[in-house]
Amino acid sequence: MTHFLDIHKTNPSDLRQIIDTARDIKDARHGRPKSALDDDQPLAGHMVALIFEKPSTRTRVSFDVGVRQMGGQTMVLSGADMQLGHGETIADTARVLSRYVDLIMIRTFDESVLTEMAEYADVPVINGLTDRTHPCQIMADVMTYEEHRGPIAGKKVVWTGDGNNVCASFLHAAAQFKFDLTFAGPSQLDPEGEFVKLARDAGCKISIERDADKAVQGADLVVADTWVSMHDAQSARERRHNMLRPYQVNAALMAQAEPDALFMHCLPAHREEEVTSEVMDGPQSVIFDEAENRLHAQKAIMKFCLGK
């Protein structure tokens, strides 16, 4: 049973295999019609359950398209469809779904839903996102950096803003891919100490910096994310904006980084809030390559989980 639950729970050699496979998948499709399916059809005859307790654009479309391109079929389920963990235990849901499908991807709130699903499922489970981590996104990000600038090992990544679930998976990736990471944000939104320690224990230089200009000096990659969640109340949104305004990624901030530094954002972005349009649409931005690579990275993850 091969799950993909978090980057730090997957061997570095397997992570490298996933990235290499993703690049091969992308290269093989270069210049071909977008409707064309992969030649080997590794998911032919396979059914994949895509479970969404949280709304989604990129995760839903990229997984659905990826399964179909590899010859499989999808069953898209919402939390409302299943009443996950309410009318039936997660363990029983996992046992039942395992009788119907060959692979489960779940995008949920509480990490415990993911871990319980994986514990009781008889088929592989993929973490499409939890409130704590977002590993599929960061696999796409590593792939994107490396296709533009070569190996990410030894590079300096700067995360600006909120030490959220995407930041957590960047810390996991630092430990596994051996790059350094600087967090630039207010103390109230620091990343989890457990994840900072994990990366430091792996020999990575992990820094916490309150001055955004100082943080991005020498950066090879600058990353931002939204300042507010779709679930935040208006009062919380205003507080967050006040705290995070000094960490906006704009042209002046990017000028402090290395001349060939890249900018990433997992999207959706709130233009002129966490990042300006000048940066998003500028020459250092690779946000749309990053979004496309969710498709290729997740196809490689699915192949890895199914032993294909």
DSSP 75: E
* Residue 201 annotated in active site: no
Catalytic residue among 46, 58, 102, 137: 137
Catalytic residue among 69, 266, 298, 305: 266
* Residue 107 annotated in active site: yes
Catalytic residue among 29, 58, 172, 294: 294
CA-wise closest residue to 18 among 306, 295, 301, 290 = 301
Catalytic residue among 46, 58, 107, 265: 107
* Residue 176 annotated in active site: no
User: Environment class of residue 137 by beta-carbon count within 10 Å: exposed (0-12), middle (13-18) or buried (19+)?
Assistant: buried
DSSP string, 117-178: HHHH-SS-EEEEE-SS--HHHHHHHHHHHHHHHS--TT-EEEEES---HHHHHHHHHHHHHT
* Residue 294 annotated in active site: yes
Catalytic residue among 6, 162, 220, 225: 225
* Residue 225 annotated in active site: yes
* Residue 83 annotated in active site: no
Catalytic residue among 3, 29, 58, 134: 134
Q: What is the longest distance spanned by two Cα atoms in the chain?
A: 55
Q: How far apart are the C-alpha atoms of 19 and 33, rounded to whole Å?
A: 23
Active-site positions read 107, 134, 137, 225, 266, 294
